[in-house]
């Protein structure tokens, strides 16, 4: 009986590995297709931009109207607009299914082969754990982006300060030009750009420029819920959701302090 259980466990483990490989291949194909479609769409948009008024004139004429009314043209346009959105969502769903299914089956196989207990009590709990792991991964990526952004701004302000200090060591224009021309790179003042980005981020979240981190967090949650693609079905929901996330990442504690010190 034990040998039969071990054999069944090995068979189940092999089947699960095949399922995992098949799903990985399917996910890879869809990801590649989405990337390809996005690249073609961006290229077409760039072509329209290069064509400018001539292309718009052609599309506004009888030939352009007839072409745009062609069902094949309409379907093609819809494909290039809709497929990247649906493809991305489908990939996320497939990753969720793959994790939940394979983890469950591998646990069952290990139970048959080694008698080990399952990690979770029910099948649905595997999906719950996957969602929690994805949330943790996204939080970690967000923290890494914030840290990288913080270092970049610190480096820019540091370079600007060093640049100003070096400028003060020269009393006349000729000496300064000789120095910067031979030894030093010229840096632009990052203060204006920083203030602009900070205030644009505040405007996007609809908070005052003097808002503290708690007010910003509340405003972010409200905006994120408003534009979350699972709730908001408008065409620009995904883009706005990303902009809201980027604004919230920029309005971190370090940048709040930096903005207050500048002002």
What crossing angle do the helices spanning 213-227 and 191-205 adopt, rounded to 10°?
Answer: 60
- H helices then E strands: how many in the chain? 9, 0
What SS3 class is residue 184? coil
So what's the pLDDT on residue 238? 81
Give pLDDT < 70 ranges for the chain: 1, 47-70, 168-187
Give the dihedral sign, CA 142/148/150/156.
negative
What is the rounded distance in angstroms from the CA atom of residue 179 to the CA atom of residue 193?
A: 26
Beta strands in the chain (DSSP E): none
So what's the pLDDT on residue 56? 54
Give the dihedral sign, CA 196/202/206/211.
negative
Q: Are 118 and 18 in contact (CB under 8 A)?
A: no
pTM for the model stands at 0.57
So what's the pLDDT on residue 185? 53
Q: Are 111 and 213 in contact (CB under 8 A)?
A: no
Q: How far is CA 187 from the centre of its chain?
A: 30
Residue 204 zone, left/alpha/beta (φ > 0; ψ -120 to 50; rest): alpha
Mean pLDDT of the chain: 82
What is the rounded distance in angstroms from the CA atom of residue 18 to the CA atom of residue 147?
A: 40
So what's the pLDDT on residue 187? 65
So what's the pLDDT on residue 239? 84
Give the dihedral sign, CA 167/168/172/178.
negative
């Amino acid at each position: 009986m034990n040998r039969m259980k071990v054999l069944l466990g090995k068979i189940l483990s092999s089947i699960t590995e095949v399922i995992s490989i098949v799903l990985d291949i399917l996910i890879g194909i869809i990801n590649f297709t989405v990337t390809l479609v996005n690249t073609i769409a961006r290229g077409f948009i760039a072509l329209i931009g290069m064509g400018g008024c001539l292309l718009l004139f052609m599309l506004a004429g009888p030939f352009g109207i007839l072409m745009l009314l062609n069902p094949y043209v309409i379907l093609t346009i819809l494909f290039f607009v809709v497929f990247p959105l649906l493809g991305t969502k489908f990939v996320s769903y497939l990753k969720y299914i793959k994790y939940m299914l394979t983890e469950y089956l591998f646990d069952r196989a290990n139970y048959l082969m080694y008698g080990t207990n399952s990690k979770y009590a029910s099948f649905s709990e595997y999906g719950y754990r996957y969602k929690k792991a994805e949330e943790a991964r996204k939080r970690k990526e967000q923290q890494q982006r914030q840290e990288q952004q913080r270092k970049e701004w610190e480096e820019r302000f540091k370079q600007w300060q060093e640049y100003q200090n070096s400028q003060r060591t020269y009393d006349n224009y000729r000496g300064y030009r000789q120095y910067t021309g031979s030894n030093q790179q010229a840096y632009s003042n990052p203060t204006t750009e920083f203030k602009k980005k900070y205030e644009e981020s505040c405007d996007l979240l609809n908070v005052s420029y003097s808002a503290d981190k708690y007010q910003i967090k509340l405003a972010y949650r409200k905006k994120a819920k408003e534009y979350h693609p699972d709730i908001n079905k408008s065409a620009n929901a995904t883009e706005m959701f990303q902009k809201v996330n980027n604004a919230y990442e920029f309005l971190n504690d370090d940048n709040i302090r930096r903005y207050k010190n500048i002002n």
